[in-house]
Amino acid sequence: MNIDLTGRTALVTGSTAGIGEATATALAAAGADVVVNGRTPERVEEVAQRLGVRGIAADVGTAEGVAELVDRLPEVDVLVNNAGIFAPQPVFEIPDSEWQRFYEVNVLSGIRLSRHYAPRMASRGWGRVVFVASDSAVLIPTEMVHYGLTKTAQLALSRGLAQELAGTGVTVNSVLPGPTLTEGVREFVTGRYPDVEFAEAERRFLGNDRPTSLLRRLIRPEEVANLITYVASEQAAATTGGALRADGGVVPTILP
């Protein structure tokens, strides 16, 4: 299979590290004109230069940041809603402000960007919208219920948008990574098992916290990016309204 995105413009939000950066790298390798995004101008510029792509610094977790981004980039063919935050916190100790912050960043960012870009894709007869959700959308983590809630919301949003865009040539899907070796997850795992080397912390995390993993290791960001790149391709034209797993078998069901 030869995935060729030459001539397509792809925006990947939250793409200065982790899954987002790996996705930007993979899409660029497939020929797309990629735009990386993050909140810090210096970091965006550094990643854009290293990957040989464009960069736009804007906080998509705010309405103002989205407005700035779409003003500078009015049209895209591929939108990867990857920007997101997570943090452990006991559910009864999460204040309203944190529930709202997680919803703004993880859900409303994708709503606002899709509301702008998807109708324009439909008018051209082709487009791809991808939400980077999580296995936490269907296996709500007790230690961060607010995060799981936002990821479940992304699945509903993705399906609803796919239905609205039926027959337009625009597909909308969610990709569900499992525990992935990003900088944030490394810190999270280390924080849960601080007294051992990381390899042992990873083993304990998967054995105790995510015992259903069939991969028995943390997923690599590029492994998730491979699925996202496929979903963004012409070859995935018949795939829409779906929740596609790159979870290493963590979710112990046949369907999400």
CA nearest neighbour of 180 among 21, 3, 13: 21
Residue 229 near residue 31, CB atoms below 8 Å: no
**In sequence order, what are the beta bridge partners of 173?**
130
Tell me the CA distances in angstroms from 125 to 9, 60, 119, one per residue in order.
15, 26, 10
Q: Return the DSSP state at 62.
A: S
- Residues taking part in catalysis: 147
Q: Return d(Cα 177, Cα 9) in angstroms, integer.
A: 24
Q: Is the Cα torsion angle 139, 180, 44, 29 positive or negative in sign?
A: negative
What are the residues whose beta carbons fall under 8 Å from the beta carbon of 131, sequence distance 6 or more? 81, 110, 154, 155, 157, 158, 172, 173, 174, 175
Token pair recorded at residue 33 = 């004109």
DSSP assignment of 66-92, as one string? HHHHHHH----SEEEE---------GG
Q: Return d(Cα 81, Cα 174) in angstroms, integer.
A: 9
